[in-house]
Structure 1
Amino acid sequence: MGFVIEESAEIGASAETVWRVLTDFAAYGEWNPFALECRTTLRPGEPIDMLVRLTGSQPRKQREFIRTHTPGTEFSYSMKPVPLGALHSLRTQTVTPMGEDRCRYDSHFELAGWLQPVVAASLGAAMRRGFAGMTAGLRERAEKLA
């Protein structure tokens, strides 16, 4: 397995509220310090376009493609694989009910391929901070709306 980042949080809000925040892509700039902008239909095969801040520098545009979508539960996306198996990724975000006013959010990211060690060494720490910031922002936003 390649480079993996796992983030999880129990959130004091219903799964429906967390899902609504997670999929209100137009509002990402209000709470998400990692993906400042996001646009997608969530239809498998279609793009997910993001403006991502990996380091203190300028945010960069990123286009990946939706792989799966189970409304109210999960969606996943991946980058267009780099030729010759150099690099490929998968990101999955899942919301699981834990009662009426509580749920669990799980984020899984993996990066693999022969270029993965180079990317992980140069961007790994920033990616970990980004995913952690997004998880914290999601929790805060959803709990305010609960």
Structure 2
Amino acid sequence: MSLVTDNSIEIDAPADVVWSVLTDFDAYHEWNPFQLDCSTTLTPGAPIDMKVDLGPRPPMRQREFIDEVDEDGRWFTYRMKPAPFRLITSLRRQSVVDLGDGRSRYDSHFEINGPLSVVVKALMGRELVAKFTKTTEAVGRRAAELAP
């Protein structure tokens, strides 16, 4: 049984401002309640190194890999390195949609699949869903603060 969480938020900020929030990885520690630290070159195949807070556990280091990037379409994906026999896989997609009139929508998608996904869901499912929801809200706040 997969773990999937989708979140969206409409933001009073242009799409380029929201995109800049998502791609300014050095600033994640200033606003992101889940990824306390993040670095990547945002190129396919490159690592994305994160320090994630799943609370109540101590923050942990996580390395995943950039899968696809569409800077013109304003979206990117990354995945964990699949476990042997694809016992567990993941996909994270973040995208920005221009709604016109200086407004945009941020869409967040996360999924964990494979036979071991049921274990992850049981151990960390609630925390993951809550953190992705809080992160979506934080993207909206940060972009609105930075909007002209």
Shift of the alpha carbon at 1:2? 1.8
Q: Distance in 2 between matches of 1:56 and 1:140?
A: 24
Q: Distance in 2 between matches of 1:129 and 1:53?
A: 11
Shift of the alpha carbon at 1:3? 1.4
Q: Distance in 2 between matches of 1:74 and 1:108?
A: 11
Root-mean-square deviation over aligned CA pairs: 1.0
Aligned to 1:30: 30
Deviations 1:46-95 (A, max 9, x none): 10000000112311000000000011510100000000121000000000
- Aligned positions of 1:1-146 closer than 5 A: 2-72=2-72, 73-146=74-147
Shift of the alpha carbon at 1:7? 0.7
TM-score between the two structures when normalised by the length of structure 1:
0.97
Tell me, which stretches of 5 or more residues in structure 2 are unaligned?
Answer: none
Deviations 1:110-137 (A, max 9, x none): 1101000010011000001110111111
TM-score between the two structures when normalised by the length of structure 2:
0.96
Q: Distance in 2 between matches of 1:75 and 1:142?
A: 18
SS in 1 for 2:100: coil
Equivalent residue letter for 1:78: R
Q: Distance in 2 between matches of 1:133 and 1:27?
A: 17
Question: How many positions carry a matched residue from both structures?
Answer: 146
Equivalent residue letter for 1:126: E
SS in 2 for 1:33: coil
Equivalent residue letter for 2:139: L
Tell me, which stretches of 5 or more residues in structure 1 are unaligned?
Answer: none
SS in 2 for 1:136: helix
SS in 2 for 1:22: helix
Q: Distance in 2 between matches of 1:53 and 1:87?
A: 20
